[in-house]
Structures are given as C-alpha cells and as structure tokens.
Amino acid sequence: LQFPVISLVEEIQNEFSNYKFDFDSESSYTISAGISALEPGWDSKKWFRTADESLYYAKTHGRNQIKIYEKTY
C-alpha cells in the first residue's frame, strides 16, 4: 500500500525538529506518528486503534519515527 500522508508527516517532522521554541530554544524535539489504512469491514474504533498501536510501536522503538500499521504488532 502507498500512503501519500507519509510525505506530509515527514515534512511536519522536519519543520518541528528545526523549530526553536521560545520556552526552550536549546533543546530539539521530535515527532513520532502511527498510520493505518481504513480496511474494508473496519469501524472507526478499529481504525483509530490500529493507528494508535502504530504510534505506540513507533514511540517504543526510537524517536522521530513513522510506523504504518502491520498486523504483526
């Protein structure tokens, strides 16, 4: 599957990591993201749960990552 949203998330990650916050201009910050495709037969709860699982996987396997839902999590 192709996820056009990945390029958007990568752009957001890049902008965010280069942004200097007024409250802490010395530190750098990152964003991790979880992505899931809406599969046939899924309701919104299942879709959001799988995206959340992907986000949790990304957060526990490093920083500044984008993970796409896979049934193996």
Q: Over 70: is that where the pLDDT of 9 sits? A: yes
C-alpha 53/C-alpha 57 separation (Å) is 6
* pLDDT value at residue 62: 87
Q: How confident is the model at residue 21 (pLDDT cuts 50, 70, 90)?
A: confident
pLDDT range class, residue 72, cuts 50, 70, 90? low
Of residues 72 and 36, the one with the higher pLDDT is 36
Q: Write out the DSSP string of 7-72.
A: HHHHHHHHHHHH--BTTBTT------EEE----TT--HHHHHHHHHHHHHHHHHT-SS-EEE--TT
Mean pLDDT for 59-63 is 90
User: Longest Cα pair distance anywhere in the chain, in angstroms?
Assistant: 47
Rounded percentage of the chain residues whose pLDDT exceeds 90: 59
